[in-house]
Every structure is written in structure tokens, then in C-alpha cells.
Amino acid sequence: MNQGKRVGIVGAGNVGATVAYSLAMLGSCHEIILRDNKIDVARGKALDMSQAASAVRSHTVVKVAETMEDMVDCDVVVVTAGSPRLPGMSRDDLLMTNANITKEVVEGIAKYSPNAIIIMVSNPLDAMTYVALKESGFERSRVLGMAGILDSSRMAAFIQEKLGYGGGQIRASVMGGHGDDMVPLPRYSTVAGVPLTDLLSDKEIEEIVHRTRHGGAEIVACLKTGSAYYAPAKSTAIMVEAILKDTKQIHPCAVYLDGEYGYDNVVSGVPVMIGANGAEKIIEVTLNEKEQEMFKKSCDSVKELITTLEKNKFFDGEK
């Protein structure tokens, strides 16, 4: 079904490489093209993955793009490239650094894979998805950010840990931006269709919500020298698969809002139906007053980042 499908991945670090490996093992596409500034590292990983694909009889071949020109005619391009927050670097410094990296990468994608769907993974996620949309000139359905699937999977794992049962039957729901202002939705979270509120106390649910919000930081504290990549990569691969297979499944993703939920000119995580054309439909769920307040706070946080970019005249340059 996916013969001839091509996926580009810009950034062959832990997340990008694990996305590639996950897709290669599934045989999701005919070709995966890795692009990284460390070309030899990307080449080594590509060889290793191609050999792993052969071991499981997958037809996927993993190649390397020495320049963006080699990343041509991709159906989907995943962008994980970006700088981590280095010592002494402010949040605004990180924002500008990664916005400039994203801008350069997206210009290449728009030029060499003009029909691609872009999945952003670089942080700060919602702001980088906004930058990618503006710089690519693509319609909003073709630029998505990966966060909601990851945050929902973290919440589901914590629910399973707390309950001690229900593995594989838990559906957790998280909206909003990817960060401390995310909006976990216990009301829309179930175990085999049973509402979470029927299985856990308010205090237990609040503990899960708090842990979900800080799920990434918890892993960073354990690893000491890096951040999570297995769950972020698998969550990204799920989005790629949904596009390549045109599944029409609903997943929470970061997308540009144009009036939905009462917001516009901002990117936030909401449930979307994903198919061959990207985010084909935005689903508007009913939020109660408390949830609306949390969602507003989340959108406001992203708007602050966009305002910072505008103040620095980021969008004023030549396209």
C-alpha cells in the first residue's frame, strides 16, 4: 500500500533516529531520508537501520540527505532539529535560536518537497509549529505539531500505574500547549469505556494530572544528560502512519487555530482527524468553565512566544 512513499526526517538525534527506526521496523514507507549536520553519524545510523529492516524483512530503505536538496518529493517530513536549552541560555534565546533553525529547514522543505506534510517536534513545540506554518506558506492542514499523543500516552501510563490494571484499554485525553500549561482532561479519559472519575478519587486524578504536566522533566531528572525520546518518537511515528495510511483517526495534535474554540492566530493542541492531507478536520469538544480557563492560559502562553518573535522582527524578513 505504501510502496513509493517517502518520509524525510531532519535531525538524526535520539528522537529523529528513533522515529526512523520505528517506521523502518513497521515497513511504513518505501524510503526514509535522514538529514543531520553530522552527516557521518546520520550515515552510520541509516546503515544500521537498513540492516535492521532487512532482519525483519521490511522493504524500507534508510538513506542520508547530505543537503536539503537530497530530501526531494517527500510525502511527510518530520522536523526534530533544534538546540537544547544550554547553560546560561534564556527561554527567549532558545526561542530565537530554534526559530531560525526551523525557518532554514522549512524553506528547504517548501522548495524540495512542496507537497509534503510537515510534523514539527522541535521545542518550544507550539511556537515552532507556528513558525513552520508561516515560513512554509503551506495550508494549515499540512503543518502539525507532535505533543498531544505524547502527553496523552504519559497520562495513560500514569493512570495504569495508579490503578494497577486496565493496560491497553486506557484512553487519556490532553489538550493545549506542550508544557506546564497543558490541559489534561480527566472527564474525557476512560478505561475500557468507564470514566476515570468512576475509578479514581479527585485527589488521585489530581496527582496524575500534575505528574503528566511534568512528565518530561521527571525523565530529564533521571537521565541527567538528555531528555525523553522513545515515547516522543513513537508518538511521532503514529502521526506519520496515520498520514501514510490515510486512517482518518482522531489524535490530539498542535495545529493553527482559525476561530476554533474561540481562538485565532495561535497554535495549540486539539483533537484532529488525520488522513492523507494532514489535519483534515479539527474536532471541537465541549469544555467546562475550568477546562476553558486552562485552555485560555495555555493559548496565552503560546501567544507570548509568538509576540516575542514578532518583537524581534522574526517574520519581517524576505521569504
C-alpha 251/C-alpha 315 separation (Å) is 30
C-beta atoms surrounding 289 within 10 Å = 7
Going by C-alpha positions, the residue among 262, 269, 13, 275 that lies closest to residue 145 is 269
What is the C-alpha separation between 10 and 24, in angstroms, rounded? 16
Q: Are strands 6-10 and 31-35 parallel, antiparallel or unpaired?
A: parallel
Tell me which residue of 79, 77, 119 sits closest to 101, measured CA to CA.
79
Which sign does the torsion angle of CA 291, 292, 294, 295 carry?
positive
What DSSP state is assigned to residue 157? Answer: H
| Among 205, 144, 213, 142, CA closest to 174 | 213
Question: Would you tell me how many other CB atoms lie within 10 Å of the CB of residue 3?
Answer: 7
Cell for 58?
521490511
Residues 67, 107 contacting (CB under 8 angstroms): no
Q: Please provide residue 90's backbone torsions phi and psi, each rounded to the nearest 5 degrees.
A: -80, 170
What residue has cell string 517548501? 110
Choosing from 30, 59, 178, 214, the catalytic residue is 178
Query: Is 178 among the catalytic positions?
Result: yes
Q: Which amino acid is at 210?
A: H
Taking residue 279's Cβ as centre, other Cβ atoms within 10 Å add up to 25
Helix, strand, coil percentages in the chain from 3-state DSSP, rounded to 5: 50, 20, 30
Query: So which residues are the catalytic ones?
Result: 178
